[in-house]
């Protein structure tokens, strides 16, 4: 006996549901990123994103519980993109002199920033009023700095890390606070003075990049890119990278 035809569609397989959810979530993030570029992070609105996607605003809450959760997803996505870019530069430069690896990776970070200025501003620009980044952002946020640390660690392992620039001075208080950081970064063979210069180089790299990207060095030199490369090379020398 034939089974009567049912007008109810069969349930969607779990894998298909997951793919559909991921596709919609990706579309939301892409649209939110476009809004970010046009209006800034402070004015990001779930309702406006839903409108552009042709969704009712209530449907957005199946994917992001709040504007802050959407912002966090955008921040994590941007950190991961930058981190992957820096890690790829470090991997591609394996076997090159450590100083050259540092400059190459610094240039790659700068290239990403200029290709994604609004993402860079989200990560390193003005804090967003009323938003506090949760712990979810910590691990992706350290990927780019860990990529730079890898160059120093490899140099130390290969015997290519010399002493830092003369005149480096570090207090007992700062040296004591470096103990946990050294363990976290697996830099057991690196001295306190080198660790201090590494921390300075990392912050100087992003400080100079932020100044350039936000127009603070306009008309300061004829070639901002060359200034950045020269600064990165100086950082490498100060670190003792050969």
**Rounded to an integer, what distance in angstroms lies between the CA atom of residue 64 and that of residue 72?**
10
CB 185 within 8 A of CB 153: yes
Q: What pLDDT does residue 12 have? A: 53
Which structure tokens are listed for 175?
């040296």
Q: What pLDDT does residue 3 have? A: 46
With a cut of 50, say whether residue 136 has pLDDT above it: yes
Q: Identify the bridge partners of residue 161 per DSSP, sorted by sequence position.
A: 241
CB 121 within 8 A of CB 36: no
Q: What pLDDT does residue 144 have? A: 97
Q: Provide the percentage of residues in the chain whose pLDDT is more than 70.
A: 94
> For the chain, what are the domain ranges?
14-65, 81-239
With a cut of 60, say whether residue 1 has pLDDT above it: no
Q: What is the DSSP letter of 101?
A: H
Kindly report the CATH number that applies to the domain delimited by 14-65: 1.10.10.60
Q: What is the DSSP letter of 13?
A: P
- φ and ψ of 161, to 5 deg: -110, 110
Q: What is the DSSP letter of 10?
A: P
**Rounded to an integer, what distance in angstroms lies between the CA atom of residue 105 and that of residue 186?**
20
Kindly state the average pLDDT of the residues 175-188.
Answer: 92
Q: How many CA atoms lie within 13 A of 7 on its CB side?
A: 0
Architecture of domain 81-239: Orthogonal Bundle (1.10)
With a cut of 50, say whether residue 99 has pLDDT above it: yes
User: Which among 138, 115, 121 is positioned nearest to 36, based on CA atoms?
Assistant: 121
**Rounded to an integer, what distance in angstroms lies between the CA atom of residue 242 and that of residue 236?**
8
pTM: 0.88
Which structure tokens are listed for 146?
């860990």
CB 140 within 8 A of CB 80: yes
- Tokens 């979530």, located at residue: 25
Cβ-Cβ contacts under 8 Å for 212 (sequence gap 6 or more): 224, 227, 228
pLDDT by residue (tens digit) across 186-226?
998 899 999 999 999 999 999 999 999 999 998 889 999 99
**Rounded to an integer, what distance in angstroms lies between the CA atom of residue 185 and that of residue 151?**
12
With a cut of 90, say whether residue 17 has pLDDT above it: no
Q: How far does Cα 164 stand from its chain's mean position?
A: 27
E strand segments, 33-120: none
User: Which among 109, 157, 152 is positioned nearest to 238, based on CA atoms?
Assistant: 152
Q: What is the CA radius of gyration of the chain?
A: 23
As a whole number, the mean pLDDT across the chain is 92
Q: What pLDDT does residue 18 have? A: 83
């Amino acid at each position: 006996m034939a089974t009567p035809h049912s007008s109810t569609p069969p349930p969607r397989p779990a894998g298909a549901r997951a793919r559909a959810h991921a596709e919609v979530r990706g579309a939301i993030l892409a649209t939110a990123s476009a809004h970010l570029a046009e209006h800034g992070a402070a004015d990001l609105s779930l309702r406006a994103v839903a409108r552009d996607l042709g969704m009712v605003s209530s449907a957005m809450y199946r994917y992001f519980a709040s504007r802050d959760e959407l912002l966090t997803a955008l921040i994590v996505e941007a950190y991961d993109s930058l981190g992957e870019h820096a890690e790829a530069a470090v991997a591609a430069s394996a076997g090159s002199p450590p100083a050259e690896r540092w400059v190459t990776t610094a240039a790659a970070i700068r290239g990403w920033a200029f290709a994604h200025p609004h993402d860079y501003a989200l990560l390193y620009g003005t804090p967003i009023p009323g938003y506090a980044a949760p712990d979810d952002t910590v691990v992706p946020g350290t990927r780019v700095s860990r990529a730079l640390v890898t160059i120093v660690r490899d140099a130390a392992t290969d015997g290519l890390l010399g002493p830092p620039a003369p005149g480096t001075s570090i207090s007992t208080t700062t040296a004591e606070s470096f103990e946990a950081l050294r363990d976290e970064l697996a830099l057991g063979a690196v001295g306190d003075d080198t660790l201090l210069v590494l921390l300075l180089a990392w912050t100087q790299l992003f400080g100079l990049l932020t100044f350039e990207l936000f127009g603070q060095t306009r008309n300061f030199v004829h070639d901002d890119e060359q200034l950045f490369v020269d600064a990165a090379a100086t950082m490498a020398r100060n670190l003792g990278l050969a």
